[in-house]
Structure 1
């Protein structure tokens, strides 16, 4: 996957981030309709904020996102924004999720993994994300 160079009013960039965030206590709840909800919402959220979703895989207890964003947006901002909006959306759509597993806390663990990639390794990262489903848990 060769990601094209993008431009803003004052910059030219190729910034791609591999972001992984996990559920609190590694609870394996991101399956079925919840997984589908995340896969439906993620591209909408990315587009709303001016980011491009390059690859996405939702595992039972974590999410792999490969995203391109302008240099004015820090990767931590991307993760915080998506985690916050997705948690609110998931708890609203699936109220039993909060009651059963996350009644005293948020949906996501505080930390994240952040990796960066330019055009050279973008294909490797995208293939790695797509291969997540075939790896044993």
Structure 2
């Protein structure tokens, strides 16, 4: 007998899987220079949402300060986080250069907007200890 489907609106369905995967990303500007204004943050939001759609992902939350941004992305299991990050940073950097924001051009010479490093943290779902307990309680066949 088939198990009933979980009716969780957050769950996403792929061809052969059901998933709910989120990653918290933090990108720093090159040299941690404070170059972002509200207008730049708003433009980045649009670009990041578009790149996420290209990856069949969803930008769930986004905001930032003058020298860094935070993204919460719901993504499918076929997407490598590193590939998503490379695209998010590359496309947004090109877009910002094309817009010719004066504060960014003055403070970040050489065209690089982002520091090469980033933070990525898996989040969402049950805490790890709950998952460990659940798996440990499974009844191994004899």
Normalised by the length of structure 2, the TM-score is: 0.75
* Relative contact order higher in (CA < 8 Å, ≥ 6 apart): 1
Distance 1:71 1:89 in 2: 27
Q: Tell me which protein shows more helix as a share of its residues.
A: 1
Question: Superposition RMSD on alpha carbons, in Å?
Answer: 2.0
Instruction: Please report the TM-score for the alignment, with normalisation by the length of structure 1.
Output: 0.78
Structure 2: which 5+ runs fail to align? Answer: 1-7, 128-142
The answer to whether residue 45 in structure 2 is matched with residue 30 in structure 1 is no
Residue ranges of structure 1 left out of the alignment (5+ in a row): 122-137
Say which SS state the counterpart of residue 39 (structure 1) adopts.
Answer: helix
Tell me what 1:65 maps to: 71
1:31 Cα deviation from its structure 2 partner: 1.0
Is contact 2:27-2:118 (8 Å) kept? yes
Which residue in the other structure is 1:6 paired with?
Answer: 12
Larger Cα Rg: Structure 1 or Structure 2? 2
| Paired residues of 2:41 and 2:63 also in contact (CA < 8 A) | no
CA deviation after TM superposition for structure 1 residue 95, in Å: 5.5
Runs of 4+ residues deviating >6 angstroms: none
Q: Is the 8 A contact 1:3 1:14 kept in 2?
A: no
